[in-house]
Amino acid sequence: MHIIKIFGAYPWQVEVEPESHDHITATKRNEFSYTAINGAIDEVERRVKSSIQKDNPDAQFSIFYSRLRATSGNFVLDSIRERMSKAYAVIFDITGFNKNVMLELGIALELQRHLEKPAKVFLISCAEQFEPSLLPSDLSGYFLSCYQINEKDNTVCFKDGNSLVMRMTSDIMEILKQPYREELEKNTQAHA
């Protein structure tokens, strides 16, 4: 069984200026980050299951999703780095450029340079609160998908035709097909 680990990094505490008339509270923003990431992962899992069963009905996989956070008893950054090193992907909600999320993003980008199979980095942001000119230039080439919040029914949808879901689905399909291809190659070589 393949276990695809995905972590989501988003602020658990949002700094809001006291005199700000921000209509979305910190707690609501965290819920929207969670809803955006979790919704995307649920859709990826549904699409992959549907597609895999056509090609390889015996293939078994599970997507494990958790918020990126430290485990108790460990140094925070060591724990986060270890989780990232074992993940397929980390999705960072950079809405508001929270300092902790940006630090974790920096760690993930550095791990990409040093690991044989680093976690893929995906960036998301709330469209209403995202200012492209504030994005650090070093992040300009990374995948970024913006979501919109419907405050009437507390739903979240991605503005870009679900490119995050499509990209992750495609990547996971390749991961799951790899052992199948390797088995075919072994069988072909054994009969040659």
Q: What are the tens digits of pLDDT across the range 147-165? A: 988 878 877 888 888 889 9
Instruction: Break the chain into its structural domains and give their ranges.
Output: 2-12+24-191
* DSSP β-ladder status, 89-93 and 120-126: parallel
- Which pTM was predicted? 0.82
Architecture of domain 2-12+24-191: 3-Layer(aba) Sandwich (3.40)
List the end-to-end C-alpha distance of the chain, in Å, as a whole number: 29
Helix axes of 26-55 and 163-191: crossing angle, nearest 10 degrees? 30
The string of pLDDT tens digits covering residues 100-122 is: 899 999 999 999 888 888 899 99
